[in-house]
Structure 1
Amino acid sequence: MFKEQEYYGDHFADMVFSKEELVSVKFYDCTFTKCDFSETAFDECKFSDCTFEHCDLSMIKLLDSSFSQASFKHCKLVGVDWTEASWSRIVVPGTLRFDECVLNHSTFIGLSMPKSQLTACTARDVDFREADLQESNLARTNFAESLFSETNLTGANLSHATNYAIDPSNNRIRKAKFTLPEAISLLYSMDIELIED
């Protein structure tokens, strides 16, 4: 599959790596287009400034692998446990960018990901509990059945996001941006009665 241990500026297209195992391979400034990584195990791999476009990364295992300034566009990333990855103790804002991706059944629980981007994505049943998403761009994303608890959404952009269930009493939402009518859902967790006029 990958014969070298390090790749710089390479472009991989229309390749199938499904159910493979990559160990200690490092990619710098590489682009992956229409590649199938479904159910692949990445063991101590590194992706720095890499872009994935129209790729399938569903059910991948991220065993101590790291991502720095990684961008995913039109990708399928179903059932990914991002907590298995290796996260730097030094928080780098904007480490992950997802645009028009499917992130269903994934978990980001407890991860520090300020200024990340999840725009126009489908994020059904995703666990964001205790995650730091401050100043992240979450616009136009469908968060149906996703979990938010003790999540830091300070200054986050949730404009035109849909189907979120965010309790303002146990999530930090100061200066976050929401749009109507979806923002009315922020009142559902409060013990109040809404009366339509």
Structure 2
Amino acid sequence: MASSTVTTEDWDSGVGERKAHDGVAFVDLDFCEITLQGVEFTDCTFRNARFNCAELTDVAFVNCTFTGCNFFDATFTGCKLTGSVFERCEFELLTVDGGDWSFAALRRADLGGATFTGARMRETDLTGARCAGGTLRGADLSGALLEGADLTRCDLRGSDLSSLDPARTQIRRAVINPDQAITIATALGLEIRD
């Protein structure tokens, strides 16, 4: 449960100068076009926050909950979002470069317009996620929950697909490399011989 509530006015009047926030509820926060670096949020809640065009570098959101938030054209570079939960959020043109999204919950999220490159996403819950046409390139998806996910036309090159079950995930026209093709063929029960 949040120990305090912060609005945009509170943030602008001094709260935003703090480098660590623990158990805070951020409500209707306007982070549009903000630049944040090295800030830590732990067990915080973000409701109806707007991160449009924000640039976040080395920011940690550990075990946070995002509800009804907008990440349009936001850029996350080297950020840590382990254990965070996303509900009814918008991710159009989101760019993620590196960082750790392990154990995050992105169930049924629409990530078709998002680009994840080199992110650690171990055991991330992508159940029913709509990633058609998106990018999950060079991502560590080991142990990720992908059942019912739509990866149609998704660029998956270089990502760990060891937890992908092609019978339970839509992968038509996804872009993969030869090593990944072997992983998927093996998951389908095919024998590969010279």
Question: If the TM-score is normalised by the length of the shorter chain, which range does it land in?
Answer: 0.7 to 0.9
Deviations 1:8-41 (A, max 9, x none): 1111122222122223321001111111111111
Number of the residue aligned with 1:6? 20
Say whether 1:35 aligns with 2:35: no
- After superposing on structure 2, the runs of 4+ consecutive aligned residues of structure 1 that deviate more than 4 Å are 157-160, 166-169, 174-177
> For residues 59 and 67 of structure 1, what CA distance do their matches in structure 2 show?
18
Other structure's SS at 1:170 match: helix
Q: 1:136 to 1:43 in 2, by over 3 A?
A: closer
> For residues 150 and 65 of structure 2, what CA distance do their matches in structure 1 show?
23
- How many pairs does the alignment contain? 172
Number of the residue aligned with 2:86? 72
Number of the residue aligned with 1:63? 77
Number of the residue aligned with 1:154? 162
Say whether 1:170 aligns with 2:184: no
Number of the residue aligned with 1:97? 105
> For residues 131 and 142 of structure 2, what CA distance do their matches in structure 1 show?
18
> For residues 14 and 104 of structure 1, what CA distance do their matches in structure 2 show?
25
Is this contact kept in 2: 1:147–1:165, CA < 8 A?
no
Number of the residue aligned with 1:187? none
* 1:106 Cα offset (Å): 2.3
Number of the residue aligned with 1:81? 95
Number of the residue aligned with 1:23? 37
Name the structure where helix makes up a greater proportion of residues.
Answer: 2
Q: 1:7 to 1:110 in 2, by over 3 A?
A: closer
Is this contact kept in 1: 2:94–2:114, CA < 8 A?
yes
Query: Gaps (5+ residues) in structure 1?
Result: 178-197
Match of 1:123 among 123, 131, 152: 131
Instruction: Among all aligned residue pairs of Structure 1 and Structure 2, give the percentage whose two residues are the same amino acid.
Output: 20
* 1:103 Cα offset (Å): 1.3
> For residues 53 and 175 of structure 1, what CA distance do their matches in structure 2 show?
38
Deviations 1:134-190 (A, max 9, x none): 22111222223211234322133566533543569531237758xxxxxxxxxxxxx
Other structure's SS at 1:173 match: helix
Say whether 1:107 aligns with 2:121: no
* 1:123 Cα offset (Å): 1.2
Q: Which amino acid aligns with 1:27?
A: F
TM score, norm. by length of structure 1? 0.72
Other structure's SS at 1:66 match: coil
